[in-house]
Amino acid sequence: MASRTNRRILLGGVLLCIAALPCADSSRLIAAESRPQPAAVAANFPVASAARLAGDGKQTRFILDLDQTVTFRAVTLADPYRVVVDVPQMNFQLPAGIGSGGRGLVKAFRYGLVMPGGSRIVFDLTGPAKIANSYVLEAANGQPVRLVLELEEVDRTAFVSSLPVENRPELRPAIAEAPPATVPSAPAPDGTQQKPDGRPVVVIDPGHGGIDNGTQSSGESEKNLVLAFGLALRDKLEKAGKYRVVMTRDDDTFIPLNDRTKIARNLKAALFVSIHADALPRAEGDAQGATIYTLSDKASDAEAQRLADAENRADAIAGFNLAEEPTDVADILIDLTQRETRTFSNRFARLLMSEMKQTVRMHKHPLKSAGFRVLKAPDVPSVLVEIGYVSNKADLGHLVSEGWRSRAVGSMAQAIDGFLTKRMATAGSSN
């Protein structure tokens, strides 16, 4: 493939890492940094206005039109074959549906926010390929700034030998670390120290986010629907004032699965509630209603297994795949804790079903279980709630309705309050 002769900033090589781009191995982000940025700052984000693929199964070029030059880094990943390009946070103004189809060495690509200050483009490849060249062309002769990625077909051996060691862990996005379980309050005006917040912690986990849209239907994305639901649930619980509520994300940011669990564990949370919205492939018919899932080693049915498999691929969708961290379940104390936690999770799931069925439509089999990674905290009762099917017209109508959301949030808040009130009373009587 002929090289471009235009004036350009050359950043060749398999791995490109520029100091100006936020890297995951830099200082960890604090919780405040995960808040949406002011409009004045957002207006300065680079704008991506067009993207296209050219070439064939031997050599393929990707071109992204921008309104300003950017730094970037790119890396190839295996199993499945992918290329990940990290860029500063961008305003993607690309045509709807772009990237769903591919050309040459690229099957498809996706893009979006992957952490505050950073966006990502992920290419799914048809087979092993190397990054033959990658660069940014400066604007010239009426043409915009362009980020160019040139791929060449290689065999498996050459591909593996070109991979960074352990796929470069520094490419994993930095995630806001959870604050300690109790945060000392600021001194009172008279200089005395106020008591720390001792209220039970409830962690609400809106699924997906950023580059990971989740399921989509009729122009609606799961990540947006569940975020709106999660924020409404947070507001409802905070209004009561009995619980300290923490969100794993409160904006369009991607959070890896293990980090969602870590937030709950670091906070010694009393309850973890993950919010999702399922979609059923057309070939599998139609389904409707909310479903509540708990953790189990064996899925309760084939649909539960399908959903767990799909949800557990979230990290790979964002361009990287974190190996599950080793657990100490062999330790008998940890094992006993995990068994007790599952008992509490199941108890809350039943209570939640009882409350929700009074206000919203439930799935014909509303209680299920499977091996969801996001539910694997051994010491935090956890459930995953599929609030409906975006693939079902009636459910989708409910999911975008503020009235339905208010009723569903009310019943969920009622269940949370009933569960934690009983647990606190039990814990108090045993002391």
108 neighbors 101 (Cβ within 8 angstroms): yes
Q: Looking at residue 96, what is its pLDDT? A: 84
**421 contacts: CB under 8 Å, gap ≥ 6:** none
What type of residue sits at position 401?
S
pLDDT exceeds cutoff 70 at 14 = no
Helices and strands in the chain, H and E counts:
9, 18
- Among 306, 275, 287, smallest CA distance to 396 is for 287
Helix (H) or strand (E) segment spanning residue 264: helix 257-266
| Cα torsion 321, 315, 118, 109: sign | positive
pLDDT exceeds cutoff 80 at 100 = yes
CA-to-CA separations, 38 to 22, 34, 42, 47, in angstroms, rounded? 18, 12, 6, 17
- Among 258, 240, 246, smallest CA distance to 175 is for 258
* Percentage of the chain exceeding pLDDT 70: 76
User: Mean pLDDT across the stretch 296-307?
Assistant: 90
State the chain's mean pLDDT as an integer: 80
Q: Looking at residue 39, what is its pLDDT? A: 39
Alpha-carbon gap, residue 294 to 301, rounded angstroms? 13
407 neighbors 298 (Cβ within 8 angstroms): no
Three-class DSSP category at 50: strand
Question: Beta-carbon neighbour count of residue 32 at 10 Å?
Answer: 8
Q: Which residue has the higher pLDDT, 212 or 165?
A: 212
pLDDT exceeds cutoff 50 at 3 = no
Q: Looking at residue 104, what is its pLDDT? A: 96
pLDDT exceeds cutoff 50 at 407 = yes
pLDDT band at 22 (very low <50, low <70, confident <90, very high): very low
222 neighbors 230 (Cβ within 8 angstroms): no
pLDDT in tens, 83-92: 999 999 999 9
- Among 53, 155, 157, smallest CA distance to 105 is for 53
User: Mean pLDDT across the stretch 76-104?
Assistant: 90
CA dihedral 386, 387, 391, 393 (to 10 degrees): 160
Triad 26, 377, 261: Cα angle to 5°: 35
Radius of gyration of the chain (CA): 23
Total residue count of the chain as it appears in this document = 431
* The model scores a pTM over 0.85: no
Report cis status (omega within 30 of 0) of the bond before 80: yes
Three-class DSSP category at 303: helix
CA 311 to chain centre: 10
User: Mean pLDDT across the stretch 136-149?
Assistant: 94
User: Mean pLDDT across the stretch 184-192?
Assistant: 50
Alpha-carbon gap, residue 288 to 311, rounded angstroms? 19
Q: Which residue has the higher pLDDT, 334 or 125?
A: 125
User: Mean pLDDT across the stretch 346-358?
Assistant: 96
Q: Looking at residue 177, what is its pLDDT? A: 37
- Among 273, 150, 148, 257, smallest CA distance to 205 is for 273
Alpha-carbon gap, residue 226 to 399, rounded angstroms? 9
Q: Per mean pLDDT, which range of 144-148, 300-304, 398-402 is the poorest?
A: 300-304
**381 contacts: CB under 8 Å, gap ≥ 6:** 270, 271, 272, 341, 344, 345, 347, 348
**108 contacts: CB under 8 Å, gap ≥ 6:** 99, 100, 101, 102, 123, 124
Helix pair 332-356, 402-430: axis angle to 10 deg:
140
Q: Write out the two tokens for 14.
A: 């398999």
Q: Counting Cβ atoms within 10 Å, is residue 177 exposed (0-12), middle (13-18) or buried (19+)?
A: middle
pLDDT band at 117 (very low <50, low <70, confident <90, very high): confident
* Percentage of the chain exceeding pLDDT 90: 56
Q: Which residue has the higher pLDDT, 23 or 129?
A: 129
Q: Counting Cβ atoms within 10 Å, is residue 231 exposed (0-12), middle (13-18) or buried (19+)?
A: middle
User: Mean pLDDT across the stretch 99-115?
Assistant: 91
pLDDT in tens, 27-78: 222 232 233 333 334 558 999 999 999 999 999 999 999 999 999 999 888 8
- Among 24, 3, 149, 127, smallest CA distance to 74 is for 149
21 neighbors 42 (Cβ within 8 angstroms): no
